[in-house]
Structure 1
Amino acid sequence: LVAVVGINTLIGFASEWKAVRSMEALRALGRRNTRVRRGGHEHEVRVESLVPGDIVLLGADDLVPADVRLLQAERLRVNEAALTGESVPVDKHTSAIDADAPLAERANMLFKGTTITEGRAEGLVAATGMRTEIGRIAELTESAEQEVTPLERRLDRLGRRLAWVTIG
């Protein structure tokens, strides 16, 4: 009985731990500074202070601080693994694309949480915080009900039966 309850507790704890770690990692993406051009001058500002319409300046190894529409791009390649799962860096450019293009094909956009692997870029902040693509994914992850596995159901049922036998 103790072993069954212990195993059930460990499975539940492990699932909850993974979910908490994932959410902490997503929140950590927003805690840093970035370079912007405001009033014709370059400034370093906290990512949390970015608003749609700001112009951000990005270079190699920078983490993209918001969803950004590219205005200028020089030999720009971006690792979008955090968003699309694609491990190979993709080329980005400023050319217009179809408005209905899938996320992975939006070559004139940079997305929060992705990383510049080479080149430089200047872009207009289109969305910040939970309004970004990664923010929407985080909301879906947070609101999704975690499905109970068949093993967890059986262990729960067994635990209740054993509790009734012990009490009765």
Structure 2
Amino acid sequence: MGIKSLLEVEHPQLGELVIASGCLERVHLKWAPKLTILKFNVFRTKDDPFCLGYVPLLQTVSIINTAFSWHKMLKLSELLRKTAISNLHLNFKSEKIWVKLEGRRQLLPVFHKLRIVNLLNISEECDLSWTMFLLQGAPNLKELRVLGSGGRCVHLASRRTKDYSGNRLQPT
């Protein structure tokens, strides 16, 4: 296996997979029925860095990347389409955002069980309104942490008093 190789994973017992090198072209998780955690640290491909096959227990996805001008904007609804994760951690490591904004209809099938979101090293130009696309697609979100590239942190717990249609919610 060398630089720009395709890694195909089929493993009956694999519970956590950490890809710590950006030299792979793509990781195809064909069959990993016990996988619960996927961490992808740095990708150097123009396409989606991974493809999910049968991963029914996947709960946590963490992606860390410094984006370059040639990077494709990732659509989370497509990248995570066969899952219903509960924890999402995205570290942008720079000011370039590599996640494409999407609507509620696209994200709801993937994010309907999402409880915790961590967005790290986001440019200060991406204020909280930028995160609305995630909030709208994650109706059960309990915790949102946003850390700007300047080190400023915003922590929001489940204290919404109105849902997105304006209806009053019970306090949590």
Fold-level similarity (TM above 0.5)? no
Q: Structure 1 or 2: larger helix share?
A: 1
Greater relative contact order (Cα 8 A, min sep 6): structure 1 or 2? 1
TM-score (norm 2): 0.24
TM-score, L = length of structure 1: 0.24
